[in-house]
Amino acid sequence: MTADYSEIYGRSINQPNEFWGEVAEAVQWEKKWDTVLDDTNKPFYRWFVGGMLNTCYNAVDYHVQNGRGNQTAIIYDSPVTDTVRKITYGELLEKVSKFAGALRDLGVSKGDTVIIYMPMIPEAPVAMLACARIGAVHSVVFGGFAPNELAIRIDDAKPKVIVSASCGVEGKKVIPYKPLLDEAIRIAGHKPEKCVIFQRSQVEAHLIPGRDFDGETLMSKAKSAGCVAVAATDPLYILYTSGTTGKPKGVMRDNGGHAVALKWSMKYLYGAQPGEVFWAASDVGWVVGHSYIVYAPLLAGCTTIVYEGKPVGTPDPGAFWRVISQHGVSILFTAPTAFRAIKKEDPNAEYLKKYDIGSLRYLFLAGERLDPDTYHWASGMLKIPVIDHWWQTETGWGIAANCMGIEPFPVKAGSPTKAVPGYNVQVVDPEGNALPAGVDGTIAIKLPLPPGCLPTLWKDDKRFLEYVTEIPGFYVTGDGGYIDEDGYLFIMGRIDDVINVAGHRLSTGAMEEVVAKHKAVAECAVLGANEQLKGQVPAGFAVLKAGIDTDPDEIVKELIQMVRADIGAVACFKQCAIVSALPKTRSGKILRSTMRKIANGEEYTIPSTIEDPSVLVGIKEAVAKLGLGLGK
């Protein structure tokens, strides 16, 4: 391929079969595909139909067989436990093969599902790769989720086995996982046959005889399992993402398109070369962790970092600089929230002066909108390219970016630059008509989506159609924005009620369901308010039932605790106001859009459909009391 963006992008859109067929040659296939793109059942497109491969083989075995056995594959860096450990590709192959054998001994076979409920320890990617090795489908659930949320995922994925650890370590707090796991299994309708628990020194988990097994003991007794070839269209994993109804959606990723797209992205989007250290400072529970902690770096023959810590507080705002310096990181990928946190604690970057980070070539930021202030601060401080890029759990890799491996463009603060090859990104009106440059509209991707994106939702084709039938012929991203006269894309925010808290997509609808359960609450609304550090935070507004004489402040405390218990601390639900009424249309619909504008200090017009405009006065007073109304 040449390094000309226009040519590469044009081929990817106009000749997708030829383009992706060439790209796929970099992947090792057990059997080559019959058809690059099968479009016979629109809008259910399938890539590399007839092809057979194994993702784990491509990520591990292939590199060992081709001379990288002694290269470090994973660096485990845990400032919260004062641990640094390196695992070579050869050692990784042994661990993954043994754990795959252990899963096989527990009855897991091709097509079975396994839930992985783990902290950021090397056993998490080992478990993921082990599932891929034997053709099992993994579903990683972020360790911070509450039992109710885990139970929902257990009932949907129906795992044969759950893999977990005795605890997670969050800053200075040790969080026992086993009680959360036991409670989730208790309330779930589906009961997994077995659980594998990796014991950590901080907490020893009680194992239930007959159901629970010690991970290290299992691995020590297991015989290595080889790679099982699967169809390119077979599922690799399920990853649940918040839905607007409160019920999470099981995004399904296939094996073939995923391997092809992610390996290509490492070179052409991120500019990474085999052997380099690539660090995605995220968690394996999120899509970034799946794509760019585990699969993509290993598919590309890079060294990846599993970091159990925070950007600040573990122990200080120099945490990231220490990791980069100590391990020779070439490319860092994290969320803007991390840099806002570092900036807040160390605005003059004094801690940066303590470390030599000369190895760092690029900083990539994604997961939420990169505000210009944070971009300029990071760029001025690091003196390297700071690349804003945009993508979603559903796509699995970048939709728009300044591709460092193709033809870097001048940066425009606030824009992730242009569409990545493979993505026909357009800004359209509700009928699907392209809008002129500079005009806000719905950001949609003309079908087919490129390889690596979700082909459907897990056992829910009907719900998948919601993405691709709202505007026929397009995948609707749920984000709004515009494309300027130079072709740069600007993302202005969500057009549904899923908010982005520090890179974590969370449903305000799910939070409303929790708040509404309180015996004193008559009705409520939860919406996303812009916040300087986390991007967005949920703000609740509750109307009490008549005759309630409980102290409103006590009720607010109870509501905050309820959301924390049902959804988890990751929801960051800390701001809630008791109001006399919510603004509604005459038909009874709550005017969340108007409330959101008030909460964000934006201009708004009183909707003509409002039933009682005077209610907005109470909302504005509540916003002021909560300290909102700060604008973007």
Look up the domain containing 450 and give its range: 5-309+389-476
Residue type, 462: K
Percent of the chain with pLDDT over 90: 73
Domain count across the chain: 2
For residues 438 and 486, what is the distance between their CA atoms, to the nearest angstrom? 10
Does pLDDT of 608 surpass 60? no
Contacts of 405 (CB under 8 A, 6+ apart): 3, 267, 268, 269, 270, 271, 272
**CATH assignment at residue 579:** 3.30.300.30
For residues 11 and 5, what is the distance between their CA atoms, to the nearest angstrom? 10
* First-to-final CA distance of the chain: 41
Does pLDDT of 493 surpass 80? no
User: What's the pLDDT at 338?
Assistant: 87
Within-domain flag for 365: no
Q: Tokens for 539, please give them.
A: 């703000």
Within-domain flag for 111: yes
Same domain membership, residue 536 and residue 430: no
Q: Is 179 helix (H, G, I), strand (E, B) or coil?
A: helix
Q: Sorting pLDDT into bands at 50, 70 and 90, what band is 500?
A: confident
Within-domain flag for 542: yes
Same domain membership, residue 61 and residue 103: yes
Does pLDDT of 557 surpass 50? yes
For residues 129 and 138, what is the distance between their CA atoms, to the nearest angstrom? 9
Last residue of a domain, one of 427, 445, 476: 476
Same domain membership, residue 258 and residue 200: yes
Same domain membership, residue 523 and residue 447: no
User: What's the pLDDT at 519?
Assistant: 87
Q: Sorting pLDDT into bands at 50, 70 and 90, what band is 587?
A: very low
For residues 153 and 158, what is the distance between their CA atoms, to the nearest angstrom? 8
Q: Please compute the mean of the pLDDT values over residues 526-548 and round it to a whole number.
A: 86
Report pTM. 0.84
Same domain membership, residue 565 and residue 469: no
Does pLDDT of 2 surpass 70? no
User: What's the pLDDT at 579?
Assistant: 94
Same domain membership, residue 193 and residue 131: yes
User: What's the pLDDT at 311?
Assistant: 92
Does pLDDT of 256 surpass 80? yes
Does pLDDT of 246 surpass 80? no
Same domain membership, residue 267 and residue 138: yes
Q: Tokens 């030599």 sit at which residue?
A: 356
Cβ 285 vs Cβ 267: under 8 Å: no
Same domain membership, residue 403 and residue 284: yes
| pLDDT tens readout for residues 449-469 | 999 999 999 999 999 999 999
Same domain membership, residue 270 and residue 157: yes
User: What's the pLDDT at 244?
Assistant: 46
| pLDDT tens readout for residues 151-190 | 999 999 999 999 999 999 988 899 999 999 999 999 999 9
622: nearest Cα among 602, 596, 599? 599
450: nearest Cα among 239, 251, 243, 264? 264
Same domain membership, residue 150 and residue 71: yes
Does pLDDT of 424 surpass 90? yes
Q: Sorting pLDDT into bands at 50, 70 and 90, what band is 632?
A: very low
Does pLDDT of 381 surpass 50? yes
User: What's the pLDDT at 149?
Assistant: 87
User: What's the pLDDT at 239?
Assistant: 97
